[in-house]
Structure 1
Amino acid sequence: MATTPHRRTTNTAHAARAARAKVTEALAARDALAAALSRAGIQLPAMDVRTPWPEERADEARYALVHLGVCSAPVAHALATVIAKGAAG
């Protein structure tokens, strides 16, 4: 069965909405994690949202990742301590 131009446009629009929703979800997750870490006195130096393929625009993303960046050993220890307390508690 051939795809009609209308169906192609509808599918493309649906895919773009789905991709934007994935990026929006990842941004919300990043913000929630940053806020929780801040309340625990921890700040990671770089947190952002990325799509796994650099050539993709946000409205074409197959999925989005919360990138936590790199942190110093003391920050990693503080993060481990907070997680361990939460897991025990």
Structure 2
Amino acid sequence: MPLYLDIHTITDGVSADDVAKAHAADLQTEGKHEVRYLRYWVNEQHGKVFCLVEAPSAEAASTVHREAHGLLADEIFQVQEGA
């Protein structure tokens, strides 16, 4: 299954607590799209959120975000895991 990293920029600020809630919503939604959100990282100071996801396509990963909470990524990249 392809692996993707997406990047969100939240210009009006972001908290780790809010991202945890959004991630929980992703986990509730992902199954019907054959997607697995694996990890996320937050940089509150710069309003950045990064999500690592296994998905059949970038579109499927975006669909989960859209349905779960509406916070779409600004960019999404297919990546390969390294050591």
TM-score by length of 2: 0.40
Instruction: Indicate the structure with greater helix content.
Output: 1
Q: Which has the higher contact order (CA 8 A, sep 6+)?
A: 2
> Could you tell me the TM-score, scaled by structure 1's length?
0.38
